[in-house]
Amino acid sequence: MPLISSIFIVLLYIKGMAEKIIYSVLEIHSRRIRELVESKKYRNPEDFLKNAIEILLTWESDYPEECMEIMKGLMPLSLKQEKFMKQSMDSNEIKNQFGTLEIDNVEYETTKQKELSLSDEDHLKLRNNFQHTKKFIKSLKITTPKNQISYDGYPLLSGFYSRLLPVKIVLATLCHQIERKKDSKIELKELRVHAFDIAEEIAETLIKYENEHSIPRNKKTSTGFPKRSGKDEDEEKIIMAQKRFKDKFIGRVRKSRTTKNDHFEGALSALGLVTAFNENEKIFVSLTALGKKFFLMDNPIVEGEYEKGSLTKQEAEFILKELIPQRELEHRFVKTVISVVEKFQKGKSNSKESQKEFEKITHSLDKEIKNTALNFLKENPKMLDLYNLNHLDRKNETTERKITQWRLATMGRLTEMNVVNWTINENGDSEYSLI
């Protein structure tokens, strides 16, 4: 459905009638619809409008109770929606219709998170026990659990994972908890609270180190980590900030509105480091062979050697050669970016004329990243609707924002892995060169 002056024009053709119903969606509504689409709540504007119309038509029918079935198709619900349901509906009816609500887990996590925050030494316990944990994990037999919850196959690493050091920290926490329990798995909700607690403590230590040593913004290892909230901050905002980090870097189970299947999403799953599975109506997480291999590699931050950077050369090579190739489009982005940077690097050193072109490297990166994505989607047309990537051939604000997000995330990760050197010139523009 086209956008005209940022307003959706809805044309409803009524069967058996000659007339058309034309409705111009208000700008404030069209903006909210676009936000919901970008958040992946709906596949596209048409999907939102279809559901909105279906709900009201069902409500005005002889069977208004069937609205409940439509609402179930809109899951996952927001925390505010779930909170309203808990206040207005019978708890048994909620369980029958919707199963366990996410807000129940959030309430548990919030309480547990406050308990863990009373101590600032949990990351030190992880560090001091690191070598012992490695011995235990080294001897751990990796098995394939039953009732696995698969990754949804999204071909990219999310733009939210602009750094991968938090992934290593979460993985280290998982292994630490596994060793403590002398088991091969840990319940997801337990991993979420413990990993966030460790990440928050490490972030505070890193920020202190960076401030003391005047580390520039583009070289900070604390990027991507959660920042400890202030005493006067709104509790709901604190909870949502915690949830965002947990969902992105640790993982959550989400029902796909396209496939109707449950998927385990998040950086750990996207990189093939863990397996999530159901057992006795609980969600557990265990290591994969790749996760075991990656954890057993030494890491300077885990071991408190902050001056050595985020990742070792061994870790970076493993990420590039073993982990990223699992996400085909991301793998192509990496190759594209390296090629563009190499071209501009040579150009910069060859002539003054090329110096001007070099300053436009971000424009060239955006162009080539977009072309790479479009070529990939031509080869894999089913992914267009499945992953809401069917807008990339359009010239609009949404597309530009998406491309910029992909570029920043890819460059951030390559900088972290010491593949690319990222500097900021006197004009505040980013410049890149291969290391």
pLDDT tens figures, 266-313: 999 999 999 999 999 899 999 999 999 999 999 999 999 998 989 999
Burial class (CB in 10 A: 0-12, 13-18, 19+), 58: middle
Domain identity same for 322 and 348: no
pLDDT at 182: 94
Q: Tell me the pLDDT tens digit for each residue of 24-62.
A: 778 888 888 887 877 667 767 877 888 888 888 888 887
| Most trustworthy range by pLDDT among 69-78, 81-90, 214-223, 252-261 | 214-223
Domain edge (last residue) among 22, 49, 74: 74
Q: How confident is the model at residue 6 (pLDDT cuts 50, 70, 90)?
A: very low
Q: What's the confidence (pLDDT) of residue 61?
A: 83
Q: What pLDDT digit, counting tens, does each position of 392-425 carry?
A: 777 777 788 888 889 999 999 999 999 999 887 7
Average pLDDT, the chain: 84
Considering the domain architecture, whether residues 166 and 279 belong to the same structural domain is answered as: yes
Judged against a pLDDT cut of 90, whether residue 358 lies above it is answered with: no
Question: Does residue 372 belong to any structural domain of this protein?
Answer: yes
Per-residue exposure over 135-155, b if at least 16 CB sit within 10 Å of its own CB, e if not: eebeebeeeebeeebebbebb
Peptide bond into 166 cis (omega under 30): no
Residue with tokens 């998982």: 174
Residue 359 above 60 pLDDT?
A: no
pTM as predicted? 0.79
Q: What is the per-residue pLDDT for 258? A: 66
pLDDT > 80? residue 83: no
Residue 237's Cβ-side half-sphere holds a number of Cα atoms within 13 Å equal to 8
Q: Residues 31, 37: contact at Cβ < 8 Å?
A: no
Q: Of 198, 188, 228, which is closest to residue 105 (Cα–Cα)? A: 188
Three-class SS state of 355: helix
Read off the pLDDT band of 352 (50, 70, 90).
low
Name the percent of the chain lying above pLDDT 90. Answer: 46
Q: Is residue 108 a part of any domain in this protein?
A: no
One DSSP character per residue, 284-301 reads: EEEE-HHHHHHHTS--TT
Residue type, 249: F
Mean pLDDT (whole number) for 122-145: 94
Between 77 and 198, where is the model more confident? 198
Q: In which band, very low, low, confident or very high, does the pLDDT at 349 lie, cut at 50, 70 and 90?
A: low
- 162 and 61 in a single domain? The answer is no
Supply the pLDDT for residue 30.
Answer: 82
156 or 5: which carries more pLDDT confidence? 156
**Which structural domain, as residue segments, surrounds residue 371?**
328-434
The answer to the question of residue 64 being in a domain is yes
Listed residues 277, 303, 326: the one ending a domain:
326
- pLDDT recorded at residue 204: 93
The reply to whether 304 and 335 lie within a common domain is: no
pLDDT on residue 5: 40
- Domain count within the chain: 3
Would you say residue 212 has pLDDT above 90?
yes
The DSSP output letter for 325 is G
pLDDT at 276: 96
162 or 188: which leads in pLDDT: 188
- Residue 96 domain-assigned? no
Residue finishing a domain among 292, 326, 360: 326
The answer to the question of residue 418 being in a domain is yes
| 69/18 same-domain check | yes
Q: What is the pLDDT of residue 234?
A: 74
What's residue 350's pLDDT?
A: 55
Which of 92-106, 185-199, 228-242, 411-425 is modeled with the greatest confidence? 185-199
Q: Does 354 lie in the same domain as 291?
A: no
Residue 215 phi/psi, 5-degree rounding, is: -75, 125
Helix or strand holding residue 348 (H, E): helix 328-350
Of 216-225, 358-367, 391-400, the one with minimum mean pLDDT is 391-400
Tell me the mean pLDDT in the region 220-238: 80
Residues 274 and 239 occupy one common structural domain: yes
Quick check: is 101 in a domain?
Answer: no
CB-based burial, 195-232: b 16+ in 10 Å, e otherwise: bbbbbbbbbbbbbebbeeeebeeeebbbbbbbeebeee
Structure tokens of 51? 């559901």
**Residue 346 pLDDT > 70:** yes
Residue 335 shares a structural domain with residue 322: no
Do 230 and 281 share a structural domain?
A: yes
pLDDT of residue 91: 74
- CB atoms < 10 A from the CB of 107, how many? 15
Tell me whether residue 225 is in a domain: yes
Q: Are 296 and 183 in contact (CB under 8 A)?
A: no
What does the alpha-carbon distance between residue 189 and residue 171 come to, in Å, rounded to a whole number? Answer: 15
pLDDT computed for residue 2 by the predictor = 43
Q: Residue 222 above 80 pLDDT?
A: yes
Q: Does position 4 have pLDDT exceeding 60, yes or no?
A: no
12 and 160: one domain?
A: no
Residues 314 and 365 in one domain: no
Q: Could you tell me if 235 and 370 lie in one domain?
A: no
Instruction: Report which of residues 363 and 427 the model is more confident about.
Output: 363
Running DSSP on this structure, what letter comes out for residue 322?
A: I
pLDDT at 7: 45
Distances in whole angstroms, Cα of residue 353 to Cα of each of 34, 348, 350:
42, 8, 9
Q: How far is CA 63 from CA 59, 60, 75, 315, in A?
A: 7, 8, 21, 58
Nearest to 360 by CA among 344, 372, 374, 373: 344
- The mean pLDDT of 377-399, rounded to a whole number, is 79
416's CB contacts (< 8 A; 6+ apart) are 163, 164, 165, 310, 311
pLDDT at 70: 73
Query: What's the rounded mean pLDDT across residues 156-168?
Result: 91
For residue 86, tell me if it sits in a domain: no
